[in-house]
């Protein structure tokens, strides 16, 4: 008698088991049909184990799988109050929906699925952002909203550092939101990914924090950037006489001299600062207008 027969006999108490019981025939057929790679992990059941024990074990497996599926909870009066899938968790709290982003790199359709399940016609896209813009709604496009409709972004818990474990992105939506459209939320960038949303490079929390690059020479600012271990790129502009500036993408290959003027600095991607420069100095900053 082999291990399979022992297992069958423990479960099927039919006369002459494990050879003749109907449960034994069925169980043996299922076990023998199982690929060897999986079969070798089958535990030996102790003598006296019942079909109920096997059934409960199967129920536990089903319950574990169910946790991974989308979940929708309804309130006492019927309307949905919470939804969760692999990418987003949305709950109604104190008159607003709080959507916690579980996977900031997920397919955007999974975010929309969550809002749609709660009756909200909101699309959400996450854009790579410089550190101080992570968690911001960087732009949005909505139609048909009322004055009571509110939408915002942030970090959960508030004030946490995005790169630290447990610091999550969140979106808040007023209950009964009537608008239709899409919001763009800043997320941490992947290595080598260019920012699609950023602040000035010299504000607190950005790469030139504590240093003012405006209206200094390129030589000065590049030296400071290198001192901080940063790479430098340039965006060449032509100041307009009445203020403002113009930029021609085909004129970005010119050699930038150390005597050129820096009018602003922007984070381009992690470790790289982009300097907005012109060859000649003008009386008024063409980028900031001061």
Other C-beta atoms lying within 10 Å of the C-beta of residue 216: 18
DSSP reduced 3-state for 156: strand
pTM of the model: 0.69
- The pLDDT value recorded for residue 190 is 94
Contacts of 127 (CB under 8 A, 6+ apart): 138, 184, 185, 186, 187, 196, 197
- The pLDDT value recorded for residue 77 is 56
For 31, the token pair is: 């076990």
* Run of H or E residues at 261: strand 261-269
Q: Rounded to a whole number, what is the largest CA-CA distance in the chain? A: 103
Cα 88 to Cα 156: distance, rounded to the nearest angstrom = 13
**Full pLDDT tens readout for the chain, 290 residues:** 544 455 444 444 444 444 444 455 454 555 445 444 343 333 444 444 444 333 434 434 333 334 446 776 655 555 678 999 999 999 999 989 999 999 999 999 999 999 999 999 999 999 999 999 999 999 998 887 887 888 899 999 988 988 788 999 999 999 888 889 899 999 999 999 999 999 999 999 999 999 999 999 999 999 999 999 999 999 999 887 776 788 887 777 778 999 999 999 999 999 999 999 999 988 888 888 77
DSSP reduced 3-state for 262: strand
Q: Residue 101: beta bridge partners?
A: 88, 169
- The pLDDT value recorded for residue 79 is 65
Return phi, psi of residue 223, to 5°. -60, -40
Burial 195-210 (b: 16+ CB within 10 A, else e): bbbbbbbbeeebbbee
- The pLDDT value recorded for residue 237 is 92
- The pLDDT value recorded for residue 51 is 42
Beta strands in 130-208 (DSSP E): 137-143, 151-156, 168-174, 180-188
Question: What's the length of the chain?
Answer: 290
């Amino acid at each position: 008698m082999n291990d399979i027969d022992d297992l069958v006999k423990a479960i099927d108490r039919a006369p002459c088991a494990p050879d003749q019981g109907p449960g034994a025939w069925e169980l043996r057929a299922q076990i023998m049909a199982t690929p060897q790679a999986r079969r070798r992990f089958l535990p030996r059941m102790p003598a006296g184990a019942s079909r109920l024990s096997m059934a409960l074990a199967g129920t536990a497996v089903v319950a574990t799988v169910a946790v991974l599926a989308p979940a929708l909870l309804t309130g006492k009066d019927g309307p949905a109050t919470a939804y969760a899938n692999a990418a987003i968790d949305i709950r109604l709290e104190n008159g607003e929906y709080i959507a916690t982003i579980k996977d900031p790199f997920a397919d955007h359709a999974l975010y929309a699925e969550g809002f749609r399940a709660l009756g909200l016609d909101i699309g959400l896209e996450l854009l790579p952002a410089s550190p101080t813009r992570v968690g911001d709604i960087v732009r949005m496009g909505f139609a048909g909203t009322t004055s009571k409709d509110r939408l915002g972004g942030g970090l959960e818990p508030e004030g946490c550092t995005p790169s630290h474990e447990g610091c999550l992105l969140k979106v808040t939506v007023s209950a009964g939101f009537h608008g239709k459209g899409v919001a763009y939320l800043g997320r941490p960038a992947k290595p080598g990914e260019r920012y699609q949303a950023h602040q000035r490079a010299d504000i607190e929390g950005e790469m030139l924090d504590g240093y003012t690059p405006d209206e200094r020479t390129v030589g000065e600012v590049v030296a400071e950037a290198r001192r901080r271990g940063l790479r430098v790129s340039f965006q060449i502009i032509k100041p307009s006489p009445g203020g403002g500036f113009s930029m021609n993408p085909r004129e970005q290959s010119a050699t930038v001299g150390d005597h050129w003027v820096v009018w602003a600095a922007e984070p381009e991607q992690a470790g790289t600062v982009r300097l907005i420069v012109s060859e000649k100095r003008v009386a008024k900053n063409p980028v900031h207008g001061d």
